[in-house]
Amino acid sequence: MSIRELAAAWVWLDATLGRPAGGPHPHMSQKLMRSFDRALNPEGRLVLREWWQQRLEEIPAATTTQRREQRRERGAG
């Protein structure tokens, strides 16, 4: 498992108050996640939370752009 996958799973668990269902890695080892969590310092946690917040803000913009492109494709065809 890569550090990126661990970080994504940690952020999901942090944002959902520990609910793995629906997350990027719902069957990840709890032992591995606890170890990753213990290794994070407060600044590392903050960085991951800020990254997650930025990703959430990007989703509506990406969705809107995709819808516009789909409408253009339907109109051109």
End-to-end CA gap in the chain: 44
Half-sphere exposure of 62 (CA within 13 A, CB side): 6
- 12/69: higher pLDDT: 12
Question: What's the pLDDT score for residue 70?
Answer: 76
Full-model pTM:
0.67
Question: What's the pLDDT score for residue 50?
Answer: 95
What are the domain boundaries of the chain? 3-76
Q: For 23-77, write each residue's pLDDT tens digit.
A: 888 888 989 999 999 999 999 999 999 999 998 888 776 666 677 777 778 877 5
Backbone angles phi, psi at 28, to 5 degrees: -70, 145
